[in-house]
Amino acid sequence: GITVDNKLSFDTHVTALKKDCFRLIRNVVKKRFIFSNDQMKLVVNSIVACRLDYCNSIYFGINENLLNQLQLIQNAAAKAVVGLYKHDHLGETLKELHWLPIKYRVQFKLLLLVYKCLNGLGPDYLMSMFRYADFNHSIYFHEPRVLSHYGERSFQKTGPKLWNCLPLELKSCSNIDIFKSLLLLLSQRIDNITITLSCLLS
């Protein structure tokens, strides 16, 4: 589940999640000798990565320190999969495992949810949040004006903001599997497309 505090900082939740995930990682590493790398990846995905991905859209806009704490969990999980020690350099391990860093996993989840809403695959209460910027405009969404930090983090605000930054090729994609593949490819090439995704990173 999710632990919600009165400031929506998710500090308590991330602290508990980190403690739980590191305990699981330590237990798995003790048994690493009986698993191949592929088996380790499956196990770690099943017990750690799924916890990081659970309701991860709530992490959009949280404190940078908390985001770093979540990234530490993913880094430790990646090291466990490939057999690196705690203080070993991670290098390109995340890319080799085809894992997006936490920040981009959150954006990926939000954009996928927006795509589902646009194509009748999302719940009605979320689909009703979006309206196009101009009459009969199928590319850009109107970004609602908000008056607080909490509003800036809301799906009604972040969904249009992230969607408007996407290339036309992704916005016009008619198949969800192709959309996910293209979005994943775009996220993996993030270092080379800072102009295209500059507003995603703001």
Q: Using alpha carbons, list the distances in angstroms from residue 14 to 5, 51, 139.
A: 11, 11, 35
- C-alpha span between 179 and 175 (Å, rounded): 6
Using an 8 Å Cβ cutoff, are 69 and 76 in contact? no
Record the pTM: 0.85
**Tens digit of each residue's pLDDT, the chain (202 residues):** 889 888 888 999 999 999 999 999 999 999 988 998 899 999 999 999 999 999 999 999 999 999 999 999 999 999 999 999 888 999 889 989 989 999 999 999 999 999 999 888 988 888 888 887 765 555 788 888 888 888 888 998 999 999 988 988 888 888 999 999 999 888 776 544 433 444 544 4
Using an 8 Å Cβ cutoff, are 183 and 170 in contact? yes
Report residue 9: phi and psi, to 5°.
Answer: -85, -25
